[in-house]
Structure 1
């Protein structure tokens, strides 16, 4: 704590950023080296001029929360105590997002959502956004731990006038574009890698395995069983994804490539084309633990069990500008487990060379 407090007392935001990056990289899943550390000035130089800002949160050893905010030309930090009920507030808010209220409780649910969204905004973003220039529209944010699961776009500032519907709430999504990153160094590394690759050679690839009619081994891992139960998948069966056919037709119409059924074996999927615009895996990703190699992509069980560690892509390389995984319903899992799986996913795809990842953590996201 001494280093943190000394930097706070000096008002040394650059040193606080360096300590924050060091702490973040110490939390990376086992088996992956973090990116080379970058300075705050490096990150600032890559932000969009006038429109972009970087915001990162770090829990201090004494229980306070450090927020660092930076634009291309300036930076600031804020330190505040965190209420003891903060984890409970986060869990209740996320639970409200995934469980539709009963018809007779719609108004109560709306009032609770509004109250919690404002409170979370006040705790996490009010100071930083008040400091940023009014023209800021893009936020590169680096949450930590369980807070990676919080969709900041769903938070709202104070409601000036009473509203009766969600559509009229001043969601942050109406003003800001959010890019989530593991750290400032990881974000900058991804941008530089994408710039070096330049224009992709192939527009899009859809990986669409076939789950119907195959005998899947019943998993003996508790985490996988729990996940499958949340999907209402009896006896370890994996449910098909209903949008696959329509999505495949769209991608083919736009000039992309689609791998179906027996084409989606681990041996083939782990060797994608060398330069892609979009890599879209219309497949379940099973979280088995805290390591980055414990995420298994469920492919067609044609020659083997069809399960491929996502870390294989990090080893072989997945040089895509955008990776899309729409069937990661981890938001329904306990917070700690879901946050660990999400971090492992981000690290694996970052190390695979993917510039941006789009993941759905809840049904209908």
Structure 2
């Protein structure tokens, strides 16, 4: 049995995914409900990471730590090998997660009342963080065609022309799974440069891309506008290390890095833990073979889910994404409302998915399913879905 086939009981481990469903879904008892919602995997982390953490635990002192040059080199080598992106280690600033990094960038480079542009449907913190900081969120609605998304550059430019301070890009796209092309990315940079708009590129899903698709770092098509871009990457989504909390902000512009450092000082932000440094280095240095096997498993899983559900329920449409381990399920032709489907999933199917409206009004009619689990669990989840809606 491979590590991707092993079913691991995660209940009573303080797991948000497994132990907080009563709170998240407002139900009294979720003990018989299968969670396929939040984006963490039910696979064990790479053995190299576990071994490195166990070795670190042999030293009994867990004092203040820092991200050494070796940690930065591990990131640098990974980005070049996987994505052809030649970075410099002094461009890197570490944070406790991509979401906190997004909050930091917003706070550092915008003011209350500033307009922040996002392309929806999109990951919910893209809405909530700017709003909590008193910024004005402007939505550029992606154009959906047969389960895939395109940018509406006419409205995108119109919105930029009205004074947008920051654009937040999701590449690869969550929840749609799009890996944006070089042409689309170049046009985003061109228009943002035209209207002097800063770009925050969230590339946390960049390693989870299926051939023949290839992730393209936004900076690699910047055409002289590299200093306009702050990129966020992390090993956490790739290697199932979200609870370890480690992410990297990469900024080629020294002035922007200094401002980010000042923000960290203003908030008393400490360096990452010794466990984060250990896990990050081990994952990037020794995790590639594990990732290649994972990608094969995820691709096969997606093919299975799409075939089973669409054959059983022809009114449902699912397009295989270019990347991520998330399926974006189109239920608009079922004749059922989002609330009706959610109720059927929870009460009849005993299955927890995420409603598309969570990703903005453009997501209404869709549901997001996390398929990163052992095949045995996946087949159970598919059976529950079909049971709920037939």
Query: Does TM, normalized by the shorter one, top 0.5?
Result: no
The structure with higher relative contact order (CA 8 Å, sep 6+) is: 2
Tell me the TM-score normalized by structure 2.
0.29
With normalisation by structure 1, the TM-score equals 0.30
